[in-house]
Chains A and B, each alone.
Chain A
Amino acid sequence: MKLSRNAVGWLNVVPLLAILIPFFVVPICVILAVSFMETDGFGGIFPVFTLENYTGVFTSSLTFNLYYETFKFTFLTLIFTAVIGFWIAYFLVFHVRSKILAMGLFLVCTVPFWTSNIIRMISWIPLLGKEGLINMGLQGTGAIDQPLEFLLFSPFAVVVAYVHQLTIFMIVPVFNSLSRIDKRVVEAALDAGASRLDVMRFVILPMSKSGIALGAIFVVSIVMGDFFVVKVMSGGGTASVVGAFYEDVGVLQYPSAAASAILLTIVVMLMVAAILRVVDIRKEISL
């Protein structure tokens, strides 16, 4: 029996569809439907069409402030993870001569990820606190007499935790795209009289763009969808988009939480689309 090309194609996407439809498409449709319904404020949802949940979200200055905060963290995290991630990946690919050693060091980068996210985040607390290692150390050497309070329960602490958690998502794709750069291209550039900076600007960076973009998609979607790191590391000093609608769910305000969730989904999709417009990611995935 010979299957048509078309049928083979469909068979290939079946596993993906089997996951995407029940676990993504159906839930998001339910959320979309609920976001247009009315509630009695006590967990009851009535199938009466209303736009009130969306007008509530769009007319509130809270929405604007929450997005401002969340964008700020996303942007800062993206910058730091990209710089650090690129740096590490570049070192591993171009400066570690032995392939085996490079692989070994690459695996070492993943060691912190053998523990849970939460533990990695919480372990910053004894380091950054008022009576933490850094403050104690600085006070011991006489560099400061009052503990530095900005270290913990601050936007600084939030960014530190995100960068620590997410840099690996940048290292992996950048490492991957850098490894595929033919070393002879670099040599050719140097032979043609390019400086090291020129090689970086005109050869390596353009060729690792797709890796950076892939990493950026991971970082952006994770930070935009997170609330826990913000909650713990800022000491409740700031809020996040998801945190706010999680609290709505806590008091059974399902429709307004659904409307916020739909808005966030659209915003994140637009951000990913923007990244994809800048870089052709298909180049990265298809060899």
Chain B
Amino acid sequence: MTKDANDSKSISRRSLLKTGAAAVGAAAGSGTITGFPTIWAQEIKDIELRHVGVSYSVVKAIGDQASKDLGFKVTMQNLDTSASINRFITQPNTVDIADLEGWQAKLACKRGVIQGIETKRIKEYDNFLPIFTKGEFEGKKVSDQGISPYAALYMTGQDSTELADGVSEWMTNVPQVYNADSMGYRPDLVGHEVTEWKDLIDPKFKGKAGILDVPAIGIMDAALCMESAGIVEYGNKGNMTREEIDKTIDKLIELKRAGHFRSTWTTFDQSVQLMAAGEVVIQSMWSPAVAAVRVKDIPCTYAPVNIKNGKEGYRGWCNGMGLMKHLSGKKLEAAYEYINWYMSGWQGAFVSRYGYYSPVPSTAKKYMSEAEFAYWYEGKPAPEVVNDPYGVPMEKAGTVRDGGSFIDRVTNISCWNTLMDEAAYMNKRWNDFKVA
């Protein structure tokens, strides 16, 4: 909540000072990039697009900038993950653009609430990282544990309710922001560099560890820990069998009874709060949350958990924009315009300063300073001071981002956010853990 308020503050500052030139360029450019016949120029003013999704992905400041550049209104609405998917499925007509994770795209497609997006009409389609559009990077296949963005990216036709096997001309969603999650820790209190998930369940940190309490993804963080410590072996961490779920939860319950977990968390702010208030010294955490702790002058490191010996790795996620089935005519045209604006770089630069990534880094780069791009994307020492999105200096010159370049991070993703086949069972067991 506070984050959104800050977002809008940051953007006024930014558009005024920082990228004034770029903003002018974008505003000037938008006249030429709109594909509207002039006869529509008046009518598009009345169009309003409702972009609905989680707060870290659907950001008011981005919608405001889009409205300014495009000439029609874009309204951003935030809900948590579970409320979003419930709204998309039960009230599809109250949403125009659904912000979907891979597993949500799969569900939305199956339920027939979204329409296929024509790849030809997405201007930057060829510039997307092939991780998303082809499921590979530099010839190497991206992990397919869980539901990878690629696995749920294509459908068989515009009105289809089936996902396509491989690449097709119709997309379920256009990927727009992604990241690789791992752990955050206090380097001063942990005492050594953390590169393995098993540190999170190390008895040394009894009473000082935290874990994410969103069952669908918390279980994967837990699985990464168990796998790392050699306690449980998994066929597919992204789609566990009942037996694997049982083993994982039983171990979690054992840890809980031993007083291992100080707390669990469900929101970004809670995770920052836990770490900043000294309640935990190590916990599963998101990269921007780690940055938010550091802004408070409290040392906090994002654990680089590169894959080694078939263990470790990040838990990846990616949100994309899906078009609801009811969109047609001018509104559909406007939605395509909006998507193309979204991928043209302004948004990519914006989310990068939060520590997230754009799937089209080539356009995001245009809206970032060289120093920013070197720090956020390339994993190089910052050539100058790096500011946070509010313009507050965050990192000294020479600092290197934890986890290295974005390529280092994404190629070390070992599983993706998902909804398992055994989700109902897993949920029950997760509550067994909570109530134990």
Contact = CB atoms under 8 A, between A and B. Distances in A.
Contacts of A125: 273, 277
B251 interface: no
Contacts of A60: 428
B207 interface: yes
Given A129-B277, A239-B434, A239-B435, A252 B428 contact: no
A235 B280 CA distance: 12
Contacts of A248: 424, 427
Nearest to A39: B424
Contacts of B207: 149
A238 B256 CA distance: 10
Given A153-B279, A249-B86, A237 B264 contact: yes
Interface secondary structure of B, over-half rule: helix
A90 B434 CA distance: 40
Contact of B431 (A43, A66, A232, A249): A66
A132 B278 CA distance: 10
B89 interface: yes
B292 to A, nearest CB: 17
B82 A251 contact: yes
Given A249-B86, A256-B424, A43 B107 contact: yes
Contacts of A61: 432
A238 B435 contact: yes
Interface string B197-219: 00000000001000001011000
Contact of B435 (A66, A126, A130): A66
Interface string B245-279: 00000000000100001111110001001000111
Contacts of A66: 431, 435
B435 A62 contact: yes
B435 A247 contact: no
B423 A41 contact: yes
A42 B262 contact: no
A231 interface: yes
A130 B434 contact: no
B424 A253 contact: yes
A251 B424 contact: yes
Interface in A125-179: 125-126, 129-132, 149, 152-153
B9 interface: no
A284 interface: no
Contacts, number: 105
A44 interface: yes
Chain B interface residue number, banded: 35 or more
A126 B276 CA distance: 11
Interface string A243-258: 1101111111100100
A166 B421 CA distance: 41
Contacts of B213: 231, 236
B278 A130 contact: yes
Interface string A47-62: 0000000000000111
B97 interface: no
A153 B262 contact: yes
Contacts of A251: 82, 215-216, 419, 423-424, 427
A253 B423 CA distance: 9
A131 B111 contact: no
A65 interface: yes
A62 B432 contact: yes
A69 interface: yes
Nearest to A235: B263
B250 to A, nearest CB: 14
Contacts of B86: 249-250, 252
Q: Give the top 9 A-B pairs by smallest Cβ distance, nearest first.
A: A236-B264, A235-B263, A250-B82, A239-B434, A236-B213, A239-B435, A153-B263, A251-B423, A131-B278
Interface of A: 41-44, 60-62, 65-66, 69, 125-126, 129-132, 149, 152-153, 231-232, 235-239, 243-244, 246-253, 256
Given A43-B89, A243-B434, 13 more contacts: A41-B421, A44-B111, A62-B431, A130-B278, A132-B277, A152-B279, A235-B264, A235-B265, A238-B435, A239-B434, A244-B428, A251-B216, A256-B424
